Amino acid sequence: MSNDATAPVYGSAVTKVEPFGVDHIPDNERHGKPSSQFFVWFAAGLNFPIILLGFSAAWFGLSFGAAVTAIAVGAAVGSLLMAVMSLMGVRLGVPQQIQARGPLGFFGNFLPVAYINVFAGIGWAAVTVILGGKAFAGLTHLPFWVCGGVLTAVQLVVAIFGYNMINYLQRVLTYVLTPLFLLITVVAVVRGGSLFHTNTHAAGYIGSTGGWITFGGWFLSFLVAWAPFASDYSRYLPDTPEVVSRTSWYTGLGNFVTICWLGILGVVVGGSATSSDSITALHELAGPFAVPALIAVGLSALAQNFLNVYGGAISVQTLKVPISRSQAVTVICLLAYVISLWGESGTEDKFKVFLNLTAYFIAPFAVVLLLDFYLGGRSDPSRIKELYDRRRVLGWGFVAWVGGVAASVPFWQSSFYTGAFARAYPGAGDLSMFVAAGTGAVLYLLTYRLKPLWVRDEATPSAPGGPSAQNPTALTRS
């Protein structure tokens, strides 16, 4: 075979539009270093919403020590989840959403992907546009709709270029944003930092245990929300034992450092914040350094939304919607922008409601994928062809996911809906995500050895363009 036949089509070119969507990435296209995953997730985590979550410690009446341990535990568990999900991308070379076709089935995967990935991708993109747009509006005194529109246009262009450009810019943004957020940290702590003790009279006090569980669960939820996208940014890396191991460490570390850093910063300054509006509070805390602080928040919106939009577009293609990845990116950006215009006010409350609802649905989804990878044999590259086989309509993993979500409903704690258990025992904290994950795990373990629920009898073994039985790692267009 000639060298031209094995030459990469995409390779490591940063300014070339990525030609792959939900395709399996063949060996000749594998490139990059595991350290890229640190920059991808470190930059994505340098985001003001995490500080915003930390503000709530005083509202819950938690002591400073309890708040810090809750953040550390939530960040550690979430970072471990992200580390393993990123590893799966290296091993299988396909997006996380495509991997879910294994346990859930080709079409059984549609509902969770439609809600978890498309809805969540658009929602998170809108939330981030709001915060970044408000920051730039405060900086430039231009209308919010203009600033939000510029941010949306930038993320649209970058997401169309795709994987390589996103990896490159996340590294650049890491170097730019780190000193800016360090400045925010020093100034905020000096101007308004305080340590505090348990306050049983706080407005949101539900007991030390319940408050600790709910508060720590928010930081875990923040990373759980990323889980369905983790493999999307590692699937081009070479599949070697060393790369697999190092990818996990870099991914976990990148997530853990930023979540703990900014979450604890939010705790330190939250007790002295006098405004419930995040950007106003940042103005107050930063004082004469408000300009670099607002620049940091505005740029960090890009670091997060590159991933939201790109992952959402891959999800649209997973649903077999007949549009290209570039068209999907455009639709997601437009929808996120329109939603941001509607949701500009009351961002903080909408953000927390959205955070909860996504975690309730994503937790059992992620658990089913993990168990299927390690117990269901999905780590075997020879089975990649099954992910593109339309005959595998519905799997038992779908039942595990639905059962996990359904079991969590009585435990929901949200201004959108509060379940019966949560109303009766508010002091227990928000257990919804843990119940959903646990139930999903049990149902998967009870059913994963059974035959799939629905397999169509067709002559064609895989979807058009999917990997053939003879060459499961062949380039696909499904």
pLDDT for 105-142, tens place per residue?
999 999 999 877 788 788 888 988 998 999 999 899 99
Q: Using one digit for the tens of pLDDT, what is the confidence trace for 385-424?
A: 999 999 999 999 999 999 999 999 999 998 789 999 999 9
Q: Under CATH, which number does the domain 35-104+115-363 receive?
A: 1.10.4160.10
Looking at this protein, which amino acid is placed at residue 406? A
Entry pTM: 0.91
Question: Is residue 239 within 8 Å of residue 30, measured between CB atoms?
Answer: yes
Residue 193 has pLDDT above 50, yes or no: yes
* pLDDT class of 380 with cuts at 50, 70, 90: very high
Q: What is the DSSP string of 129-182?
A: HHHHHHHHHHHH---HHHHHHHHHHHHHHHHHH-HHHHHHHHHHHHHHHHHHHH
Given a cut of 90, whether residue 463 has pLDDT beyond it is no
Look at residue 166 in the predicted model and tell me its pLDDT.
98
What integer pLDDT is reported at residue 458 of this predicted model?
Answer: 64
Q: What is the mean pLDDT of the chain?
A: 89
State yes or no: pLDDT of 256 exceeds 90. yes
d(CA 133, CA 139): 10
Q: How confident is the model at residue 352, as a pLDDT?
A: 67
**Cα separation of 361 and 118, whole Å?**
13
Model pLDDT for residues 18-57, shown as the tens digit of each residue: 999 899 999 999 999 999 999 999 999 998 878 888 988 9
- Each residue of 217-241: pLDDT tens digit? 999 999 999 999 999 999 999 999 9
pLDDT of residue 233: 96
Query: What count of other Cβ atoms lies within 10 Å of the Cβ of residue 5?
Result: 7
- The pLDDT of residue 451 is 94
- Taking only the tens place, the pLDDT of each residue in 300-312 is 999 999 999 999 9
Going by pLDDT thresholds of 50, 70 and 90, the confidence category of residue 3 is very low
pLDDT of 271 above 70: no
Asked if pLDDT for residue 326 goes beyond 60, the answer is: yes
- Confidence (pLDDT) at 5: 53
Task: Give me the percent of the chain exceeding a pLDDT of 70.
Answer: 91
Q: Which of 17-31, 82-96, 198-212, 333-347 has the lowest mean pLDDT?
A: 333-347
- Residue 278: the pLDDT is 65
Token pair for residue 250? 């870099």
Residue 269 vs residue 176, higher pLDDT:
176
Q: Which residue has the tokens 């393993």?
A: 84
In one letter, which amino acid is 337?
Y
pLDDT of residue 472: 40
pLDDT tens per residue across span 176-192: 999 999 998 998 888 87
pLDDT bucket at 356, cuts 50 / 70 / 90? confident
Backbone dihedral angles phi then psi of residue 455, each to the nearest 5 degrees? -125, 125
pLDDT band at residue 175 using 50, 70 and 90 as cut-offs: very high
Q: Which residues, listed in sequence order, are joined to residue 413 by a DSSP beta bridge?
A: 418
* Mean pLDDT calculated for residue range 150-154: 97
Q: Residue 264 pLDDT > 90, yes or no? A: yes
The set of residues, in sequence order, having a beta carbon less than 8 Å from that of 109 and lying 6+ positions away, is: 97, 100, 101, 318, 398
The confidence score (pLDDT) of residue 478 equals 38
Query: What pLDDT is attached to residue 459?
Result: 53
Q: Does 460 have pLDDT greater than 50?
A: no
Q: Taking the CA atoms of 113, 319, 396 and 420 in sequence, report the sign of the dihedral they define.
A: positive
* Dihedral pair phi/psi, residue 394, rounded to 5°: -140, 130
On the 0-12 / 13-18 / 19+ scale of CB atoms within 10 A, 175 is exposed
Model confidence at 476, pLDDT cuts 50, 70, 90, reads very low
Task: Answer yes or no: are the C-beta atoms of 413 and 357 closer than 8 Å.
Answer: no
- Sequence-distant (6+) residues with CB within 8 A of 44 are 170, 226, 258, 303, 304, 307
Residue 53 has a pLDDT of 87
